[in-house]
Amino acid sequence: MPAHISIDRLTKHYVVGHDRVVALDNVSLSIEPGSMVAVMGPSGSGKSTLMNLLGLLDTPTSGSYRIGDAEVAGLSDAARSRERRERIGFIFQSFNLLPRKSALENVAIPLMYAGVGRTERLERSATLLRQVGLGDRMRHRPTELSGGQQQRVAIARALVNEPALILADEPTGNLDSQTGREVLAMLRQMHAAGRTIVVVTHDRAVAEVAQRIVTLVDGRIVSDELVDNTAGGPAAGHGQDALAAWGSASDERSNVPATGSGQAGDGGPAPDAGSAADASPALDASPALDA
Ligand SMILES: Nc1ncnc2c1ncn2[C@@H]1O[C@H](COP(=O)(O)OP(=O)(O)OP(=O)(O)O)[C@@H](O)[C@H]1O
Ligand SMILES: [Mg+2]
């Protein structure tokens, strides 16, 4: 469920040989539940570093990170993995789907790590795939899907655990402009449905869907501006465009806005992750997975 996110003087240093890189320098940010923040800035400015910290894929050198009431900056690896599985959904530029798994299995992975039983896993995953317009592609492997379809699978995977926070690092970066617009439409939908979203982008069109654009330069926030997108607003007119843009999802369209929190029906909390959760740091997240 959405939670208030706040980071306070978060700093990340990398040491390479004798050099120290200050990738993130005392960054503080408060993100309201249900808001959408775009992070922009030149290459090397610390955007992905920030996302990796927000996503609990990495630990800060110093500073505080709170999700709701929980301080998560100083957690052990195991505790971070658990928090990540339960609270965070990722969408990456390169999709990061498991190549030998079907779309359905890919979406179900976070549920497996959360200890959800197979039948429920597959049902919930199928529901989400239908919502992203891929009801007829569930058995396809990633190589049998277009780029935009792969990203929609990744979006379904990011949503399946009902995360408090959705992180997208250049989600349209590898897509042509039409497909990028489709993915943008889905971000709008997630936002309209009340999700908390942080999206890194170089694309002004993506940034303008957000309510707020935070710009990083050299690891620091140099501007934090509110975007006036009230004309038609993300929850109003755009929502319809978004649905129209899903084209192939015609039979599922009516499902999309209604599901709000993203799950049809079941919605029950996942059993505690402990059991099925293994040592694997982030099957739901690790950029290294596809390597
Ligand atoms: N694992 C690492 N080890 C050492 N230095 C790193 C590491 N990861 C990132 N950096 C450095 O930290 C700085 C910020 O990198 P980061 O990946 O956050 O940039 P970015 O804003 O995401 O850039 P891009 O737009 O190119 O993706 C860069 O100077 C980079 O070289
Ligand atoms: Mg980056």
147-159 helix and 103-113 helix, angle to the nearest 10 degrees = 20
Eight-state DSSP code of residue 234:
I
- Residue whose Cα lies nearest atom 31 of ligand 1: it is 44
Establish if 66 belongs to a structural domain. Answer: no
* CA 117 – ligand 2 centroid, Å: 35
Tell which atom from ligand 1 comes closest to the C-alpha of 202. 25
Ligand nearest to the CA of 20: 1
* CA 219 – ligand 1 centroid, Å: 9
Look at residue 232 in the predicted model and tell me its pLDDT: 47
Write phi, then psi, for 27 (nearest 5 degrees).
-90, 125
31, 36, 42, 46 alpha-carbon torsion, rounded to 10°: 40
Look at residue 217 in the predicted model and tell me its pLDDT: 98
Distance separating alpha carbons of residues 84 and 175, to the nearest angstrom: 26
Establish if 16 belongs to a structural domain. Answer: no
- Residue whose Cα lies nearest atom 30 of ligand 1: it is 44
Look at residue 193 in the predicted model and tell me its pLDDT: 87
Of the candidates 90, 171, 181, 186, which has an alpha carbon nearest to the alpha carbon of residue 129?
A: 186
- Residue whose Cα lies nearest atom 11 of ligand 1: it is 23
- Residue whose Cα lies nearest atom 12 of ligand 1: it is 23
Going 105 to 109 to 110 to 113, the CA torsion angle's sign is: positive
Establish if 63 belongs to a structural domain. Answer: no
CATH of the domain at 242: 3.40.50.300
DSSP string, 192-232: HTT--EEEE-S-HHHHTTSSEEEEEETTEEEEEEE----SS
Q: Which domain holds residue 263?
A: 33-52+88-285
* CA 206 – ligand 2 centroid, Å: 16
Ligand nearest to the CA of 13: 1
Establish if 68 belongs to a structural domain. Answer: no
Establish if 136 belongs to a structural domain. Answer: yes
Establish if 226 belongs to a structural domain. Answer: yes
The answer to whether the beta carbons of residues 153 and 142 sit under 8 Å apart is yes
- Residue whose Cα lies nearest atom 6 of ligand 1: it is 14
Q: What is the pTM of this model?
A: 0.79
- Residue whose Cα lies nearest atom 7 of ligand 1: it is 14
- Residue whose Cα lies nearest atom 18 of ligand 1: it is 46
* CA 47 – ligand 2 centroid, Å: 5
Of the candidates 193, 188, 195, 154, which has an alpha carbon nearest to the alpha carbon of residue 171?
A: 154
The answer to whether the beta carbons of residues 166 and 159 sit under 8 Å apart is yes
Tell which atom from ligand 1 comes closest to the C-alpha of 170. 27
- Give every residue of the chain whose pLDDT is below 50, as ranges: 232-291
Look at residue 246 in the predicted model and tell me its pLDDT: 34
Eight-state DSSP code of residue 283:
T
Distance separating alpha carbons of residues 188 and 242, to the nearest angstrom: 7
* Ligand 1: lining residues by beta carbon, under 6 Å: 14, 16, 21, 23, 41, 43-49
* CA 44 – ligand 2 centroid, Å: 7
The answer to whether the beta carbons of residues 154 and 174 sit under 8 Å apart is no
Establish if 215 belongs to a structural domain. Answer: yes
Q: How many domains does the chain have?
A: 1
Tell which atom from ligand 1 comes closest to the C-alpha of 46. 18
Look at residue 234 in the predicted model and tell me its pLDDT: 42
Distance separating alpha carbons of residues 152 and 148, to the nearest angstrom: 6
Establish if 175 belongs to a structural domain. Answer: yes
Distance separating alpha carbons of residues 287 and 283, to the nearest angstrom: 9
- Distance set, CA 197 to CA 22, 63, 99, 105 (Å): 25, 21, 26, 24
Ligand nearest to the CA of 49: 1
From 22, 49, 169, the mutation candidate for ligand 1 (largest count of ligand atoms within 8 A of CB) is: 49
DSSP string, 83-143: HHHHHEEEEETT----TTS-HHHHHHHHHHHTT--HHHHHHHHHHHHHHTT-TT-TT--GG
Look at residue 228 in the predicted model and tell me its pLDDT: 77
